[in-house]
Amino acid sequence: MPSRVCFVVGARPNFMKAAPVLRALRAADPESDPILVHTGQHYDPEMSGVFLRQLDLPTPDVFLGVGSGTHADQTARALVGVEQVLLEHAPALVVVPGDVNSTLAGALAAVKLGIPVAHLEAGLRSFDPTMPEEHNRRLTDHLSAVLLAHSQSAVDNLAAEGIGGASVHLVGNTMIDSVLEHVEAARAGRPWDAFGVEPGGYGLVTLHRPALVDDPELLRAAVGALVELAGTFPLVFPVHPRTIERLAVAGLTDSLERSNVHLSPPLGYLEFLGLEAEALVVLTDSGGVQEETTALGVPCFTLRDATERPVTIELGTNTLLGLEPERI
């Protein structure tokens, strides 16, 4: 039986990073038969199933259904679930993309069973310990035997923590491989028509980081600024489930709905990518969206104090606004 590779995914930004690697592995060795484990950290069809379909990922071999919870609760359930799968299948390598709770759980389960881990998107650092992802990144990198970095700054960050040599590989950005593969199909779908806006004539917004949306005052200030900006050009705002909940609790949904901000549930990959490619401007606190806009040449303004993706500022189209919604 050939040595199998196991991929652990679970949240929206994992799917587009893993898909090109899974496909390349299959192309290189049709017998490779990789195992795809979906933790179920994200579970709504628009946060999960749509990506499996649109990115042509196989149906996961295992779906753990860990769901939402506190960090400890969610990470622990994923840890227990992934361990069971690894005990059963004994893969030769576990690949974990990104920096979400499922990433850390997959890496920790594997390494304790003596299975080497490859971290896809290794070496990113925001140097902001209030970001939950920063702990997931650091810990996953220090657990991994193979570090797949997408930029020189990531390689440098690893070196500064004593991780270097043959285990570190500067391989490029697989999230951008997905963008390049799908952007023409995404544009052809004309997703802007559904919002009654024109290519190049609207702003695209995504906000979901707890530092912003879990703070009612910052969220109120951001909504006020968006409503004001939408007086100049229309905004399309596909709202992350965390943010849907926070807007409702803070009583802010109505003012957005009464404005020229077009709200929608989270969009599928192709719909979002098409809108991103033709936006006049993107306003976000997402990690991946900073990179995608850089690759697409679309101006991006990021509502965060720090970015773990400095290349998007040095070489790209990204501007950090800080966690200061009034700067919108």
Q: Which residues bind ligand UD1 (CB under 6 A)?
A: 11-13, 41-44, 47, 68, 74, 99-101, 132-133, 208, 240-242, 245
Q: Which stretch binds ligand UDP (CB under 6 A): 20-28, 184-192, 223-231, 284-292?
A: 284-292
Query: What does the DSSP 8-state code read for residue 194?
Result: G
Pairing state between β 300-302 and 318-320: parallel
Q: Which of 120, 212, 225, 267 binds ligand UDP (CB under 6 A)?
A: 267
User: Which of the ranges 139-147, 150-158, 183-191, 286-294 carries the binding residues for ligand UDP, by CB under 6 A?
Assistant: 286-294
Catalytic residue chosen out of the listed positions 42, 150, 208, 240: 208
Q: Which partner from the list ligand UD1, ligand UDP, none does 197 bind, CB cut-off 5 to 8 Å by kind? A: none
How far apart CA 30 and CA 296 sit, in angstroms, is: 32
CA atoms 192, 197, 199, 204: torsion sign: negative
In the set 287, 310, 316, 325, which binds ligand UDP (CB under 6 A)?
287
Longest dimension (CA), the chain: 62
Give 160's Cβ-side CA count (13 Å radius): 11
d(CA 160, CA 62): 37
Should residue 294 be labelled a site residue for ligand UDP when binding is judged by CB under 6 A?
Answer: no
> 230, 261 in Cβ contact below 8 A?
yes
Closest separation between CB of residue 136 and ligand UD1, Å? 6
- In the complex with ligand UDP, the residue whose CB is nearer, 85 or 286, is 286
Nearest distance in Å: CB 177, ligand UDP: 12
3-state secondary structure of 44: coil
User: Should residue 273 be labelled a site residue for ligand UDP when binding is judged by CB under 6 A?
Assistant: yes
* 207-210-214-217 Cα dihedral, nearest 10 degrees: -70
Q: Considering the rule CB under 6 A, would residue 274 count as an interface residue with ligand UDP?
A: no
Whether 262 is a known active-site residue: answer no
304 binds, among ligand UD1, ligand UDP, none (CB under 5 to 8 A by kind): none
43's contact among ligand UD1, ligand UDP, none, with CB below 5 to 8 A by partner kind, is: ligand UD1
Q: Does 13 bind ligand UDP (CB under 6 A)?
A: yes
Query: Least CB distance from residue 62 to ligand UDP, whole Å?
Result: 22
Pairing of strands 117-122, 168-170: unpaired
Helix ranges, 194-322 (H): 210-213, 216-229, 241-249, 253-257, 269-277, 288-296, 311-314
Catalytic amino acids? 208
